Amino acid sequence: MQSYIDIENGVVPSVCSLDCPDQCGLLVHKKDGKIVKVEGDPDHPVTKGSICNKVRNMSERIYDHKRLSTPLKRVGKKGEGTFTPISWQEAIETIADHWKKLISEEGAESILPYSFYGNMGKLNAEGMDRRFFYRLGASQLDRTICSIAGSTGFGYTMGGSHGSDPEEMTETKLFIIWGINAVSTNMHQMMIAQKAKKDGAKIVVIDVHKNQTGRMADWFIPILPGTDGALALGMMHILYKENLVNRSFLEEYTVGYEELEKHVEAYDPHTVAGITGVSVEDIYKLTRMYGTTSPSMIRIGNGLQHHDNGGMIVRTISCLPALTGQWLLKGGGAVKSNSGYLAYNKQALQRPDLQKYPTRTMNMNLLGEVLLETEKPIRSMFVYNSNPAIVAPNANKVREGLAREDLFTIVHDLFLTETAMFADIVLPATSAFENTDFYTGAWHVYLHLHEPVIPPYGESKSNMDVFRLLAQAMGFDEQAFKDTDEDLVQQAISGVSTPYFPDVTYDELKEKRFVKARHTEDRLKHLQTPSGKIELYSKKLELDGHPALPTHIPLVQEREEDFPFLFVPAPNHNFLNSTFSNNEKHVKLEKAPKLFMNQQDADRLGIEDGTVVRIWNDRGECELIVSTGDQVLPGVVVSQGLWSDLSGKKHLVNALTPDRIADMGGGATFFSGRVNVEPLNQERV
């Protein structure tokens, strides 16, 4: 068959590689060999022909004149961003020579990979790179920046990332969209809810910000940041008191429901209202709605777990569907992540056996600290699929680390990102449209194969190819580094031990393009908790140093007298993390970085809507345009988007965010920081 690359004019299938739960099936329109239009695949059972604005405008990014086309080496001062083009040969040799010297002088652990999921394709996100760094003996990276606290919390209750199938949610009668800005971050979830609404379903949104998702709700419930666990416990209190619990389900499928009943006595609606800012009346109304409507679905977001107590919050909320027996119903239950269904053969893909001795592991949320550590320091960092100078917490500390003269930094990316400005060597990356890869859905449960649809841009190379070249230059002669892309896909989809992974060969996947995870009727019989049941009481939690029963644990108290506002710097609609923040079209669509503030607070501080404010704390400062009104509660300020500060504008929201570690999984606490705000320029912008 002709490869898609060779089709000059026509429509070819693809998959969205962005870090988004929807993982859309795409159709790419080509003219004269170039992508001219991207649309949703109408035959994809979840995408159903609709995609977001970001990716509809993807060709602007793929052919952006700023895209990197050759390797570069630094010629100016560190961080200044002056580079000169070099050949791939020189780039790879420079890196390999530097690393060989480092290894002999200080050991391979002085080298650190830093990556995340700028590309969700498994080969390019966690394939050859993992093999390479294991074999190198480099320090390992704990990739904790996104969803780990909540996933860990969900796991204590349910045993793993196995939630409800979104395709069954057309049956759902009540959606609780909890701490997720789904209109922007999971649009097909909202499409499904809207469809169910036509059959009478209700949509309740619980959030700290009445954003685009809150505005679409039948009922929006504003809540104070970091208090959702308390709300869920108050709901449990009423469910037990009013006998809205499903006792036969609890007896058969759970452990600890009697202990829980006693435990939630303490969370009476008055106490809970005092913690959450949700009125007693609304707590009753929500609970009675939840306790009497079936099937009900809780969509748990990542927003509410980017807190000091994020793990326990998700652990707590994930107990609710068991209380009402929702897990047995089609369209009932909850979903945080469904990544467990398509857990592929990780050992075969990543080959941890190539590591000759155990090495230290660094938590990526502590990047600043890691780079500033002087004992056994990191001397070289290889960054790919990520832009830490913008996305990592406590960004000023991160940049102080990146600015170290003695840190040899390599950045592999499609663009000269804010992080790349600190690089010694910059390598041009292909876009996912240019690669072979496979994708595993983490909300819908389809496995996709992707074949390249266009040739590599300029001299750019995929992550797979870069690590092959580096392996060769380092003299690694194992077969693992000679395997083809197709070999890696085959290895990853063979010998999988979960009951859900589809039984499919490479050729079948190539023909069908996507295959659904296997459905098992008796999902509740496969729970991976120690008891094999839903654990309302978890001995394991206790052993890990947490309360065994779901409990509200307040946020870490930063100095409230100096920093009166809780600051929630959330994602925005037209970027994907920092991706697109450097593409003119997307910046235009998003207009300007805003800070949402309650009118009462603004009046008190003499701040006028539409003017520039300065936001600061001990970690740093930032300037945004204020939007006043009733979108947030008093004492809370919310921004949207990870904006570039390459132009010199003070738009770096992560200058303010804490690099404390969440209660579970080593997660991030982006939304638990406090700030102060003052007017800067009272002229409207």
Ligand X SMILES: Nc1nc2c(c(=O)[nH]1)N[C@H]1C(S)=C(S)[C@@H](COP(=O)(O)OP(=O)(O)OC[C@H]3O[C@@H](n4cnc5c(=O)[nH]c(N)nc54)[C@H](O)[C@@H]3O)O[C@H]1N2
Chain contacts with ligand SF4 (rule: CB under 6 A): 16, 18, 20, 22-24, 51-52, 54-55, 187
Min. distance of Cβ 17 from ligand X in angstroms? 7
Question: Which of 223, 335, 480, 527 touches ligand X (CB under 6 A)?
Answer: 223
Q: Which is nearer to Mo ion, 180 or 553 (CB)?
A: 180
CA distances from 331 to 166, 245, 428, 444 (A): 8, 18, 45, 13
| Residue 181, both tokens | 């800005």
Q: Which stretch binds ligand X (CB under 6 A): 321-329, 412-420, 493-501, 527-535?
A: 412-420
Nearest-CA neighbor of 121 among 433, 550, 453, 402? 433
In the 3-class helix/strand/coil scheme, how is 219-272 assigned residue by residue?
EEEECCCCCHHHHHHHHHHHHHHCCCCCHHHHHHHEECHHHHHHHHHHCCHHHH
Binding partner of 51, given ligand SF4, Mo ion, ligand X, none, CB within 5-8 angstroms per partner class: ligand SF4
Q: Which is nearer to ligand X, 435 or 529 (CB)?
A: 435
| Residue 269, both tokens | 């609606």
Q: Which is nearer to ligand X, 359 or 365 (CB)?
A: 365
Nearest-CA neighbor of 132 among 431, 411, 369, 467? 467
For residue 35, what are the β-bridge partners? 30
- Strand, coil or helix: what is 641? coil
What does the alpha-carbon distance between residue 111 and residue 665 come to, in Å, rounded to a whole number?
A: 23
Site membership for ligand X, residue 146 (CB under 6 A): yes
Site membership for Mo ion, residue 146 (CB under 5 A): yes
Min. distance of Cβ 282 from ligand X in angstroms? 14
- Unique residue bearing structure tokens 């979830």: 189
What does the alpha-carbon distance between residue 227 and residue 147 come to, in Å, rounded to a whole number?
A: 18
Min. distance of Cβ 17 from ligand SF4 in angstroms? 8
Q: Which is nearer to ligand X, 27 or 187 (CB)?
A: 187
Min. distance of Cβ 570 from ligand X in angstroms? 4
Min. distance of Cβ 416 from Mo ion in angstroms? 23
Q: Which is nearer to ligand X, 533 or 586 (CB)?
A: 586
What is the residue-wise DSSP string for 478-520? -GGGT--HHHHHHHHHSS--SSSS----HHHHHHHSEEEPPP-
Site membership for ligand X, residue 323 (CB under 6 A): no
Q: Which is nearer to Mo ion, 146 or 638 (CB)?
A: 146
Q: Is residue 153 within a helix (H) or strand (E), and if so which, with residue range?
A: helix 148-158
Min. distance of Cβ 383 from ligand X in angstroms? 8
Q: Which is nearer to Mo ion, 146 or 208 (CB)?
A: 146
Nearest-CA neighbor of 679 among 629, 620, 604? 604
| Residue 124, both tokens | 């390019």
Q: Give me the count of residues in the chain.
A: 685
Nearest-CA neighbor of 312 among 324, 321, 300, 323? 300
For residue 601, what are the β-bridge partners? none
Binding partner of 312, given Mo ion, ligand SF4, ligand X, none, CB within 5-8 angstroms per partner class: none
How far apart are the two ends of the chain, measured CA to CA in Å? Answer: 56
Q: Is residue 382 within a helix (H) or strand (E), and if so which, with residue range?
A: strand 380-384
Residue list 478-517, contact with ligand X (CB under 6 A): none
Min. distance of Cβ 572 from ligand SF4 in angstroms? 13
Binding partner of 191, given ligand X, ligand SF4, Mo ion, none, CB within 5-8 angstroms per partner class: none
Binding partner of 16, given ligand X, ligand SF4, Mo ion, none, CB within 5-8 angstroms per partner class: ligand SF4
Q: Which is nearer to Mo ion, 291 or 569 (CB)?
A: 569
CA distances from 18 to 52, 119, 123, 335, 583 (A): 11, 6, 14, 20, 15
| Residue 184, both tokens | 């922007």
What is the residue-wise DSSP string for 286-309? HHHHHHH-SSEEEEE-SGGGSSTT
Min. distance of Cβ 469 from ligand X in angstroms? 13
Min. distance of Cβ 582 from ligand X in angstroms? 8
Site membership for ligand X, residue 391 (CB under 6 A): yes
Site membership for Mo ion, residue 235 (CB under 5 A): no
Min. distance of Cβ 28 from ligand SF4 in angstroms? 12
Q: Which stretch binds ligand X (CB under 6 A): 261-269, 300-308, 373-381, 472-480?
A: 300-308
Site membership for ligand X, residue 91 (CB under 6 A): no
Q: Which stretch binds ligand X (CB under 6 A): 90-98, 295-303, 336-344, 362-370?
A: 295-303
Site membership for ligand X, residue 573 (CB under 6 A): yes
Site string for ligand X, 542-571 (x = CB under 6 A): --------------------------xxxx
Min. distance of Cβ 643 from Mo ion in angstroms? 17
What does the alpha-carbon distance between residue 124 and residue 591 come to, in Å, rounded to a whole number?
A: 32
Site membership for ligand X, residue 72 (CB under 6 A): no
| Residue 651, both tokens | 């738009």
Min. distance of Cβ 364 from ligand X in angstroms? 9
Interface contacts to Mo ion, rule CB under 5 A? 146
Binding footprint of ligand X on the chain (CB under 6 A): 19-20, 116-119, 124, 145-147, 178-181, 184-185, 206-209, 211, 223, 225-226, 228, 301-304, 307, 384-387, 391, 412-415, 417, 429, 432, 463, 568-573, 575-579, 638, 642, 653-654, 657, 670-671
